[in-house]
Amino acid sequence: MRLASLLPSATEIVDALGLADQLVGVSHSCDFPASVIPLPKLTRCRIDVDAPAAVIDAAVKTDAASTESIYVLETPKLKELKPDLIISQGVCDVCAVSGRTVSEVLSELDPRPVLVNLEPFSLVDVLATITAVGDAADVSAKAAEVVSAFQARIDAVREATANASARPRLMFIDWTDPPFLSGHWTHDLIEYAGATNIMSNIGAPSVETTWEHIIEQAPDVLMVACCGFPLDRTLREINGTQAETAIEELRVKGTIVHILDGKSLFSNPGPRIIDSLELLAHTLHPDLVPLPTIHLK
């Protein structure tokens, strides 16, 4: 079967199912596993992803107010590759090309491929996407094995953190300029890892806030993992900005601040979201949950 993945989490699911060698094309953002990097790129971004966070945010808002998507689907390349199955998403038009965009070009493809749209808003949904891809790729039994293994890891974290002596009030943000309170599956990560979610959106998109509001909430713990940014990029974005000033004020007031990788982990609803849960739980409760092995590359 010839597979086309239009988002990183789908590519990682395909790999977890043992089907990476059947990929014929991936999105411009797909870089894990390393074997997919040389594959043809089926999408591109219309905005400068190397621009400062504030500039990216402004560009995204401008496009959101128009009829144009910030992502372009490379339709001629897709036609040339003739995939049997295309995996896209319907969660966030800011994160990857949308399934709606793909649907609009399906009639132009011959033969017409099957389209699977992934729409996870919780950890349960993330596991369901693995099942959906497995079913569409005719490897349902393998998908069931993968899901069972991931569920066992989730259960182990929840069992361990159930014994936590305290559950810190935790705020999670996934953008810094302006700050956004993380949504979607983040609530599950926070609660399962042994903390109490304050302000993060439950099963819904991230929502914009202000650093003043974050300071007012006085969280015990602030987690920062910018969507699509690796750790070093997030640190650069914070340096010399209002975010840095606010974070220092929070630290003075007693908030513990952790800055993490959002590209490979927390904002990516693929198999490594389980690594994210284990890492978050270890960070909060190192005596209860061991440090997981994290594969960032």
124 falls within a domain: no
Query: Domain range for residue 216?
Result: 160-284
Same domain, 109 and 177: no
pLDDT of residue 161: 97
Q: pLDDT tens for residues 215-269? A: 999 999 999 999 989 999 999 999 999 999 999 999 999 999 999 999 999 999 9
Q: pLDDT tens for residues 206-227? A: 899 999 999 999 999 999 999 9
Same domain, 50 and 115: yes
Average pLDDT, the chain: 90
Q: What is the mean pLDDT of residues 172-191?
A: 94
129 falls within a domain: no
147 falls within a domain: no
Same domain, 166 and 224: yes
Written as six digits, the tokens of 94 are 């800011």
Distance CA 188, CA 181 (A): 14
198 falls within a domain: yes
On the question of pLDDT at 272 being above 60, the answer is yes
Domain end (from 61, 91, 119): 119
On the question of pLDDT at 53 being above 70, the answer is yes
Same domain, 188 and 112: no
Nearest to 228 by CA among 257, 184, 176, 268: 268
Distance CA 145, CA 129 (A): 14
Domain end (from 119, 139, 170): 119
pLDDT of residue 99: 60
45 falls within a domain: yes
Q: What is the mean pLDDT of residues 266-295?
A: 94
pLDDT of residue 94: 53
Question: Which CATH number belongs to the domain containing residue 37 in this structure?
Answer: 3.40.50.1980
134 falls within a domain: no
Q: Kindly report each contact of residues 51-60 with a partner whose C-beta sits within 8 Å and lies 24 or more positions away, as own/partner.
A: 52/177, 52/237, 53/175, 53/176, 53/177, 53/226, 53/237, 54/177, 54/178, 57/175, 57/177, 57/178, 60/94
Same domain, 176 and 280: yes
Q: Kindly report each contact of residues 53-57 with a partner whose C-beta sits within 8 Å and lies 24 or more positions away, as own/partner.
A: 53/175, 53/176, 53/177, 53/226, 53/237, 54/177, 54/178, 57/175, 57/177, 57/178
205 falls within a domain: yes
Same domain, 18 and 111: yes
Domain end (from 88, 103, 119): 119
Distance CA 288, CA 181 (A): 27
Q: Determine how many CB atoms are found less than 10 A away from the CB of residue 212.
A: 11
Same domain, 108 and 169: no
Instruction: Select the more confidently predicted residue: 145 or 113.
Output: 145
Query: What is the value of pTM for the model shown?
Result: 0.92
Task: Work out how many domains the chain is built from and give that number.
Answer: 2
Q: What is the mean pLDDT of residues 160-167?
A: 93
Q: pLDDT tens for residues 12-39? A: 999 999 999 999 999 999 999 999 999 9
* CA gyration radius, the chain: 19
Cβ-count burial of 68 within 10 angstroms (0-12 exposed, 13-18 middle, 19+ buried)?
A: exposed
Q: pLDDT tens for residues 66-119? A: 555 677 889 899 999 999 999 987 655 555 565 667 777 787 888 889 999 998
Same domain, 81 and 29: yes
Q: In which band, very low, low, confident or very high, does the pLDDT at 201 lie, cut at 50, 70 and 90?
A: confident
289 falls within a domain: no
On the question of pLDDT at 152 being above 80, the answer is yes
